[in-house]
Structures are given as C-alpha cells and as structure tokens.
Structure 1
Amino acid sequence: MALLEYDRDLEIYGYDIDGRVAKIAMNNAIEAGVDDCIHFQKRPVSELSSRKKYGYIICNPPYGERLSEKREVERLYKEMGRVFTKLDTWSYYVITSHEGFQESFGRKADKNRKLYNGRIKCYYYQYFGPRPPRRSE
C-alpha cells in the first residue's frame, strides 16, 4: 500500500497577521513545489472560519518569551480557544513554549508532548476532534 496518495485533493490554508510572513511562506511553498495546494492569506486568528465539517489546524503561534509579550500572547491564546472551539469537529495541534498555554486557551489538551524547537523547550498540545465518517470507494 502506498503511503502517498497523489490523486487526492489537498487544500491547505496558511494564515498570518503579518503579510510579509505569508509572502515568505508562499515563496517557500513555490520553492518546494507545493504552491498549487497551499493558499496563503494575511488574516488574524479572529477571522478563521470554514464551511468544511472536518479539518485540522496546525499552528506555531508566538511564544511570548519576552516579559512584555507574555500578556499579549496570552490574549492571543484565549482568542484561539474561542475561535477553534467554533470548529468543534476539527482537530487542532499547537506548538508553544508557553507553559500556561492550556489555561489561556481554555481547555486541557487531549495529549501533550514535550519537544525542543532549537534550544527552546516547547510543548506540542494535541486536541482531537471526532473522526470523519469513512468515505465509501
């Protein structure tokens, strides 16, 4: 059985509040040859929505390593919790070094793994939505 299914439709959306970051990501996708299935937009997390019943959110939001940024990222994490909860049949995965993420997000992760991003100790918070029904083929 092949692990890759090249004939399946794949839609990936990349959002960032900073348009420069979205442009850099698009250039990287072009370089990797995957720009035909990834769509980038400058958009805040508060505008995240989808008509799709099932999906995945994978993100690496700011960590708030500097003291002056801590409250700002905690507000962002709280907003993420409000927005992601609206997509109640989706799964979401978050990588951050902020140890209080779950409290700000408003929900304990189903799974939490410790890992390192460079030399920064991070946590990989996993929130599992229900499995989509099997497609009949």
Structure 2
Amino acid sequence: MNVLSALGSVNWIAVLLALLVCTVLGGVWFAGLFAGPYARALGRDSVPKPERPALFFGGPAVANLVIATTTATLIGALRIEAAGDAVVFALVVGIGYLAANTVVIAINPNMPRPLSYSLISGAYHLVGTVATALIVVAF
C-alpha cells in the first residue's frame, strides 16, 4: 500500500484516541511526574511560572495530532498489524526521529541543561509513540 492510500484509510477514531492519550500523558509527564526536573532543564526552577497562552495548550495538541496521523499512515502503509511489530516500529521512529530530534533541538545556547531536557522530552515522545502505535493497531 502506498502512503497516499494509507492516509486515506486512517482510522480517525484511533488517531483521536491516541491524541487524547498523548495529551493526558503530556500533562501528567510535564506538570506532574517531571515538573521539577523539567523546570530545571529549562532553567526555570527559580522563576515564577509564566502565563500560559492558548498556544501552550493548542500547539502541542496540533503537533500530537500530526504525529498520530503520521504514525497511523505509516503503520497502514507498512501493513503493521501485530502489537509486537507496532512496538518495534514505534521504538525505531520514537528513538530514531522524535527523541533524536529532541536532542538536536535542545543542544543550543539557550537551553541550560540540554541532556536533561532531551531525556525528559525524548522519553515522553517515545512513550507517546509506543502508545499511539498500539492504539492504531488495536483498531
């Protein structure tokens, strides 16, 4: 199956469920489990939390929608149907693209702790991608 026909056969219920799971996971991950280490990685542990504009909430949701749609499209194009194959796919994409790209983004003069940021954010993307892939193959 080619990518364009795979995009046409995406199960949008699975994509929306994956979006919901990744959105909740992001809230738990960044505001709960790793709130302190994430603030330190950003160099914001000693400053008040900034005001959160709509982009703070909407931007990640749109990006996660694109990631879930892309994941579903690739899984369809590659004809991945088994949970084990979905996990392997998610690990390859999650480590090879998402986590690696997080490291590239983090290594700049404006990021005080790029490795901490990369570990926290990269791990979130990896877990989210595995969850998305499993949801997509379950549908």
State if a TM-score over 0.5 links the two structures.
no
What TM-score does the superposition give when structure 1 sets the normalisation length? 0.28
Q: Which has the higher strand share?
A: 1
Q: Identify, as 1 or 2, the structure richer in helix.
A: 2
Larger RCO (CA under 8 A, 6+ residues apart) = 2
> What is the TM-score with the length of structure 2 in the denominator?
0.28
